[in-house]
A and B are shown apart, each in its own frame.
Chain A
Amino acid sequence: MILVYVVLALIPLTGQRFYIYLGSLFMIYAIFALSYNVLFGYARLVSFGHGLFFAWGAYATALTTLNLYRDPLVGVLVGIVTALIPSLVVGFLTVRHTRIYFAILTLAFGMVFYSALVKLRWLTGGTDGLVGIPKRGVILDISSPQAYYYFILAFFIVSTLLLYAISRSSIGLLIRALGGNEERLPFLGYSVFQLRLVAFTISGVGSALAGSLYAILMGVVTPDISYWTFSAEPLIMCLVGGFEHFMGPLVGAFVIVVLTTIAARFYEVWMLVLGLMVIGIVLAFRGGFTGFLETTWNLARHMVVARGGASKS
C-alpha cells in the first residue's frame, strides 16, 4: 500500500500533464470504488444510485466555491460533511428492503436526483451544469497541475487509510458478516438495518468525497454523473479488480482508468470487451482479478510448502 503512495507521489515529478491528469483521475475513481465496495463487496448490496452521492459531492463543492466561499478546500469539506444528509436519508429509506428492491430503489433515487439536477436550472445549471469551479482560493491556491495533484493525493491517502482502518475494525467485520450470511446476524443480537445503514453511509460519504475532488479537478460539473450508468463505473471497477479484498477496487480503478484512456479511440469495442469481462468474471472468478491472484498465490504457496516439506524428509 505504501508503495502505491510512493509511486503516486512521484508522478508529478515527471512533469507530464497527461500523467498527472491520469493519476488524479485514478485517485478519484479509486476513492469512489473503495467507498462503493464497502457496500458492494463487504455487504453484498448492489446500488445503482451511487452516482447520486458522487454528484452531491461535486455539486455541493461547486455551489459552495462559486457562491459562498471561494476556496477548494472549504468546498471539498462542505461536500463531505453535507453528504451525510443524502446518505442517511436515502440509506434510511432503501436499506430495509431486500436486495433486488434495494437495487431498484437506489436506481430510482439516483434518477430522481438526476432529473432534479437537470430540471432545477436556476440552481444547478441544468444540462450545462456549473462551470468555472476555482482552483485558486482564499486559503489554498492549487491552480497548478502539481498543486492540485498533491491536493488530491492528500485526500487520497487520508481516505484510503481511513477506509482500510474501517475494514479491519469491528464495524468492518460486521459489514462483511452482512455479506457472508446476513440472515444470521439478528439471531446474534445485531440489527441488520443499522449495520446496512452504517455501510451505506460510509460508502455515500466516500463517494461524495470523490465527487468533490472531481469537481475541483474538472472545473465543471454536469448532471450525467448522477445517471445510473455512471453509478455502474465503481461497480465494474470492483468487479474487475476483485471485491473481496481491500485492494481490489484500487486495482480495478487502475485497470479501468488506464485501459479506458488507452482504448479511447476504440471506445465501443472496449466497452464491449468490458461487458464480456463482467460476464466472464461473474461466471468464473467470483473474486475478481484479485481473487484470481489470491487463488494462484495460495496454490503457489502450497506447492512451495510441499516441496519444502519433501526436501526436509
Chain B
Amino acid sequence: MIDLDTFLSQLVVGLFRGSLYWILAAGLTLIFGVTRILNFAHAAILVTGSYITYTIYVSTGSYVLAFLGAIIACGLLGAVTEVLLIRRVYGLDPLYQLLLTFGVTLVVNEAQKLVWGKGSVYVPTPEMLRGGVAVGAVTVSYYTVFVVIVGFLLLLALHYFINMTMMGLRLRAVWRDPVMSEVLGLNPKNYYTLVFFLGSAIAGLGGALLIPAITVGPGLGDHLIVLAFIVVVLAGLGNIVGSYITALAIGVTWSLLTLVTPELDIVILYLISALILMVRPQGLFGER
C-alpha cells in the first residue's frame, strides 16, 4: 500500500505541476475567450520566456529583472504576432487560423534554436526560495509553495480584472458580442491586441517560473502544447476558473497515477481526457 507520506508528497508535486499547467492554460484560455483563436504557438512562447529568463539572469544576476523581462518580452511577442499575422485571419475558416498559428509555432521554435542553440538551459532556484518546510515527514520546497501561490494569485488577479474592472467589463463585452460592442463604441481590434499581449505575458510568467524548477530544452514546447490544449478544452474553452480547477486536477491526477502505475500513467491520463471530451465536448465547466 502507499503510505501517507508518499501520497502527500506526490500531492504536493501534483499541485506544483497543476499550477504550472494553469499558468500555461490561463493565457491560452484568455486569448481564445476573446478572440476565438486557439493560439498553437502559446507553449512555444512560454518556452521562449524560459530562455529569455535564462539569458537575462545570466547577464544581470537578478531574478526580478529576468522575470519581468520574460513577461514583457513574451507579451510583446504575442502582440506583434497578433498585429502582423493573426489580424489577417479573423473571421476566416478556423482551419486557416489553426494552420497560421501552427506556422508561427514552427518559426518561434526554430528561431529559438538558432538564437540559443539546441541545448537545454537551467537557472538555479532563487536563494530566498531555496530549502523547504517540513510538513510531517514530507519536505515541501519553498519554491513549490511560491509557484502554487503565484498560480492562485494569478487566478484572483484575472478574476478580479475580468469581472470587476472597467477594462475587464469591456473585454467581456467584446468576448460576448463583438458586433454589439462595436455599436457601443468599442473597437474590438484593439482589445484583441491587448488580450494577445496579456495572454502571452502570462505565458512568459509561466516560462520564468518554470526554468528554476526544471531544465528547459527545445522539445518542451511541443510537449506542453498538448497539455495546454487538454486543460483548456477539458475545462471548457474560455472558462477561467474552470481551467484553474482542471489544471490542478490534471496535475494531481497525473502525480497520483504515477504512484500507482508508472508504466501507464500518461496513457491513462490522456485516455481519461479523451473520454471526458467525448462524453462532454463542451468541457467540464463549459456551456453548450
Contact = CB atoms under 8 A, between A and B. Distances in A.
Let me know if chains A and B touch directly in the complex, using CB atoms closer than 8 Å. yes
Interface of A: 44, 46, 93, 97-101, 103-105, 107-109, 111-112, 115-116, 119-120, 227-229, 232, 235, 239, 268-269, 271-272, 274-279, 282-283, 286
Contact of B100 (A112, A115, A282): A282
Contact of A268 (B93, B96, B110, B278): B110
Interface of B: 38, 85, 88-89, 93-96, 98-100, 102-111, 113-114, 118, 222, 226, 229-230, 233, 263-264, 266-267, 270-271, 273-274, 277-278, 281
Nearest to B277: A105
- Per DSSP, chain A at the interface is helix
Nearest to B282: A101
13 contacts: A93-B278, A97-B281, A100-B94, A103-B98, A105-B274, A112-B267, A235-B99, A272-B106, A275-B105, A275-B110, A278-B106, A283-B89, A286-B96
Contacts of B99: 46, 235, 239, 278, 282
Contacts of B106: 271-272, 274-275, 278
Nearest to B219: A229
Given A119-B267, A268-B118, 18 more contacts: A46-B95, A100-B38, A101-B281, A104-B233, A105-B274, A108-B229, A108-B230, A109-B274, A112-B267, A115-B267, A116-B264, A227-B222, A268-B114, A275-B104, A275-B105, A275-B108, A275-B109, A279-B104
Contacts of B89: 282-283
A272 B110 contact: yes
A108 B93 contact: no
A97 B279 CA distance: 11
A275 to B, nearest CB: 3
Contacts of B264: 116, 119
B95 A278 contact: no
B226 A272 contact: no
Nearest to A276: B107
A228 B226 contact: yes
Given A115-B267, A271-B109, A283-B88, A278 B102 contact: yes
Contact of A99 (B94, B113, B263): B94
Contact of B229 (A97, A104, A272, A275): A104
Contacts of A101: 233, 277, 281
A244 B267 CA distance: 36
Nearest to A119: B263
B103 A278 contact: yes
B102 A232 contact: yes
A108 B273 contact: yes
A116 B281 CA distance: 24
B116 to A, nearest CB: 11
